[in-house]
Amino acid sequence: MTQSSASDTPAVQLIGLGKHYGNFKALDNINLTVKRGEKIVVCGPSGSGKSTMIRCINRLEEHDDGRIVVLGTELDDDIGNIDEIRREVGMVFQHFNLFPHMTVLENCTLAPMRVRKMPRAEAEAIARRYLEKVRIPEQADKYPGQLSGGQQQRVAIARSLCMQPHIMLFDEPTSALDPEMISEVLDVMVTLAADGMTMICVTHEMGFARRVADRVIFMDRGEIVEDAPPETFFTAPRNERTKKFLSQILGH
């Protein structure tokens, strides 16, 4: 799976996706196609399956039913190339998951050197470029514990970008941050979107959704109940459950 994959192959296809824990259906017949370069915002109440869905895309969770196709490659039980897929699919979590005993630069160069076998000088040059992009080049030699939450999350984004992925998954990247740090992380995500990155973002930052999303998806009880461009999603949602959710989070 390389950049030579046909550019019209979708970035991600979820076809009849299902995941259950015992009798409980965490995901129930999810169908979603994400085109290359598309930006998808996923929202929904707690426990509706948002994290499970995006974690299935890079196989942090295994699905039970249906199919997942990432950049033209099917993720099935026999998949031997999961590392290859994870190289193409970056993920940023709510908690930054940086290595505390490594500097910012070392956090960013570790995977490119280990997984992509990149020489140190090249990995460091790329890392510095992405630290520039997330607007903290001056923090390269610090340790995560010396940074604010917003700065740490921007390092986590830079670290993912250093693998030069085609797709970025974000799982509530701002929900563990103090309010004053949210916008610095969202601004970086906006820049990334403008660069043409394919993004699937679980977030309740509806301002970000309006600004960046091509489509907003509302999940409830393991299902996608609404999938619409922001202009429709926010003004004329079709589903009553979406309307109720929006009135709760937007306060009207």
Which residues of this chain interact with ligand ATP, rule CB under 6 A?
A: 21, 26, 44, 46-52
Closer residue to ligand ATP, CB minimum distance, 106 or 223: 223
CA 85 distance to own-chain centroid: 14
Nearest distance from C-beta of residue 29 to ligand ATP, angstroms: 15
Burial class (CB in 10 A: 0-12, 13-18, 19+), 3: exposed
Amino acid at residue number 83: D
Least distance between ligand ATP and beta carbon 21 (Å): 4
Closest CA to 25 of 57, 65, 56: 65
Closer residue to ligand ATP in complex, CB, 3/46: 46
Q: What does residue 71 show for φ and ψ, rounded to 5 degrees?
A: 50, 40
Least distance (Å) between residue 74 CB and ligand ATP: 22
Task: Count CB-CB contacts under 10 A for residue 133.
Answer: 17
Kindly tell me which of 130 and 170 has the beta carbon lying closer to ligand ATP. Answer: 170
For the CB of residue 93, give the shortest distance to ligand ATP in the complex, in Å: 11
Nearer to ligand ATP, 55 or 215 (CB): 55
